[in-house]
Each structure stands twice: as C-alpha cells, then as structure tokens.
Structure 1
Amino acid sequence: MALLHRAELRPTKLELLVGWLPGRPWFAGEAGAPVTRVAAYRFDDPAGAVGMETLLVRAGEGPVLQVPLTYRGAPLAGADRFLVGTVEHSVLGRRWVYDAAGDPVYPPALAAAVLADAGQAEEYFEVDGVRQVREPSMTLSGSRTDRALPAGPVDEVVDGDPTLIRAGGVDLALVRRPVPVDDSAGAPAAGRLGGAWSGQDGPVLLAYAG
C-alpha cells in the first residue's frame, strides 16, 4: 500500500520532466512544451523507504510516454546517470527523483507485476486517523508464470524503446511509448504487463520479460 501526502512539490514532478524528457533517446513530443499527466500507477517498496510511481505523460501534443520514477530521501550511490532531479516536498523535505530503470528497488517490483500479476499498490491518504483510498487512474494486467523473480542489484540498463533492464537473471523490457497489445508482435505471449485507462481504446503493452 502506498501512503500519499497532501503536499506541495517544488518543482512539481511534471515540471521536472519538462527539462529531462527531451534528452532521452526514446523521447517524442515537443521539447520544452508542458508535460501533462495521462494516468499513473505505483508499486510497493517492501522496506517502505522508496516511493515508486510510473507516470504516463505527454509532452505537448506528443504520444503517451511511460516514465517510472523512484523517490528517495537521500542520493542513491552510483546512480548519477539516472538522476532526474530533486524536488522539495512540503512534508518529507528534499526528495531525489530517479529514472526507476536504474534503481535496484524497481526491477523486482516490475517483474512481480509482469510475471506474477502482482498488480499495483493501493494508494491512500490518512485524514484524521481515517484511511481514505484513492481510486486508481488505470488498470494493470500481468501474467501468471512460474518464472523466478529477480534478486540482487541491477546488472545493466540499455536505454531506448524499449528500455532493457537486466537484473538477477531476468531481462525486462520497459516500453517507453506504449503500443496497443494487439500490435505488440515482438513481445512474448506470456510474461507481459498491459494497462488501460479512461479514454484509451484498448489495453496497451507496458512491459514484458525476455
């Protein structure tokens, strides 16, 4: 479960992405244009220390881009190439924002969704001691396989579309520009993660295991 805070961020996550996205090899859209949120989903960090949120966004009138982020309370050693930037959180203080592909907490969570249909984290607020659940903005659909989930650090990240993440003996492909599931001939029939949101004609491919 993901505890959310009613907080102010400076800059906002979307403002941070305006400057970061155009430098990615998989970027498509209008460089410098406002970035808008289409939908989002979260995974749980078992240790409860790192926030994991995947944003589906557009830059201007460009296509939907998938941007998984991690939020940390301190810099992640050896991960400078994956640093998106820092934000000031009115409740939690300074947060270091990373491209989740290079954060060791992310591959096991993504693999669990792809290979074990683990789904997304339930999001909630605490208001006067009462838990208020926030309705998800999209749905996820993974596979149920008998493949082992990765353990250990990230071995390699090859940025592109898809972004390839090799960790603990598992190869994961993160689709940066999601395509309709019916058009994803290159992905295996088993071991894939699809998603859908309001206004989307049909499910799109978000990730798959090689």
Structure 2
Amino acid sequence: MAVIHHTALKPTKLELLTSWLPSRPWYVGGAGGPELAKAGGFRLDDPEGEVGIEFMVVTDTSGTHPTSYLVPLTYRGAPLDGAEHALVGTMEHGVLGRRWAYDGCHDPVLVAQLPLAPRPASRPGRRASPSAGSDRPRRRLLADAGWHPRAGAVRRPAHRPPCLGIRP
C-alpha cells in the first residue's frame, strides 16, 4: 500500500493543472484560464512503491457551465525517459523532494496497473442524467476513463488521447 505523506507541495497539484489543462486539446474552459477545485479522486498502488498513481477529479468553473475532468497523474522521483511530452510539471514535496508529475496516460506504470484496478458493479438501466424538474445545475464530466454517478451529462471530447485503451 502506498504511503501518503501529509505535507506541502510547491506548486500544488491544482496549480500545476491550472497551467497544464489549457494546453490539452479537450479542454473546454474559459478564455481566462481554469478556475479549479478538487472534486474527488482515488489512488492506485505501484507494486514497486516508486511511482505515485492518482486519478484526480477537478472541476473548472471558468466556462459557462462547470466542467469536471478526470485527470490521471503519476508522480516520480526522477524524469521518465521519453515522456517529455507528457510532463505536467515539477513540484517540491516536503518529504520526498523534487517530484515530476506526468499525464498518467503516458506512464507505463499507470497503464500496467489500470487493468488490475477494481471496477464498479454494473448498473443496468441507470442513466447519468439529472431527474426531471431538477433545479441543480447540469455538470459535464470530461474523461477518458470511468463513469461518475453524479455527472449530469457525460461528453467525450472530440480528441481522445490514445491512452489506457478503455472502451465505453
């Protein structure tokens, strides 16, 4: 099981994502840049204990409607050879020192662990849409993996990263 350190990160994960998200072809936020808040997530274990694997859900309120993104991230103690294109950024970890954060879709450790991850039970007949007459704002979940029970509408981006090999 991964050890989670409760310490400071500089810059924070949200600060890294605020800089990185607008460079993605599937980003649909406002022109002024993302206004992000962490909305959830989960972690997977690296059997070797070297790579942090996290799926973070962030909600961006900069556009006309709040949009949530499921962002797979990996954290490493050294650069990943050949993955410069997938670098989200670097940060200083209060315990572990410098960490390199990557788009997890391009990290072989995440890709290897994903098929081993538990999956939610199938829910036949259930739809991820708000009930009729609901006054709650609609939310969209943009993700290349998974299903979220609170998503108002699930929309696949026109450009799907060629990673993970997950089918809807």
- TM-score, with structure 2 as normaliser: 0.71
RMSD, matched Cα: 2.8
Q: Report the AA paired with residue 58 of structure 1.
A: T
> How many pairs are equivalent?
138
Give the deviation of 1:109 after TM superposition.
Answer: 1.5
Q: Could you tell me which residue of structure 1 aligns to residue 58 of structure 2?
A: 57
Do the aligned partners of 1:195 and 1:205 also contact (CA within 8 Å) in 2?
no
Matched, 1:91 2:86: no
Give the deviation of 1:201 after TM superposition.
Answer: 6.2
Do the aligned partners of 2:16 and 2:88 also contact (CA within 8 Å) in 1?
yes
Greater fraction of residues in strand? 1
Cα distance in 2 for residues equivalent to 1:39 and 1:53: 11
Give the deviation of 1:2 after TM superposition.
Answer: 2.3
In structure 2, the CA distance between the partners of 1:142 and 1:51, relative to structure 1 (3 Å rule), is: farther
Three-state SS of the structure 2 residue aligned to 1:105 is helix
In structure 2, the CA distance between the partners of 1:178 and 1:92, relative to structure 1 (3 Å rule), is: same
- TM-score, with structure 1 as normaliser: 0.58
Percent of paired sites with the same residue: 45
Give the deviation of 1:6 after TM superposition.
Answer: 1.1
Q: Could you tell me which residue of structure 2 aligns to residue 116 of structure 1?
A: none
Cα distance in 2 for residues equivalent to 1:60 and 1:205: 17
Q: Could you tell me which residue of structure 2 aligns to residue 36 of structure 1?
A: 37
Q: Report the AA paired with residue 88 of structure 2.
A: V
Q: Could you tell me which residue of structure 2 aligns to residue 108 of structure 1?
A: 112
Q: Report the AA paired with residue 10 of structure 1.
A: K
Cα distance in 2 for residues equivalent to 1:3 and 1:205: 34
Which aligned runs of 4 or more in structure 1 are off by greater than 6 angstroms?
A: 204-207
Q: Deviations over 1:85-140 (max 9, x none)?
A: 00000110000000000000011211223xxxxx2xxxxxxxxxxxxxxxxxxxx5
Cα distance in 1 for residues equivalent to 2:85 and 2:103: 9
Matches within 5 A, 1:1-210: 1-30=1-30, 31-61=32-62, 62-113=66-117, 119=118, 141=120, 177-178=142-143, 193-196=146-149, 200=150, 208-209=166-167
Do the aligned partners of 2:57 and 2:68 also contact (CA within 8 Å) in 1?
yes
For structure 1, which runs of at least 5 residues remain unmatched after alignment?
A: 114-118, 120-139, 144-175, 180-191
For structure 2, which runs of at least 5 residues remain unmatched after alignment?
A: 123-140, 157-163
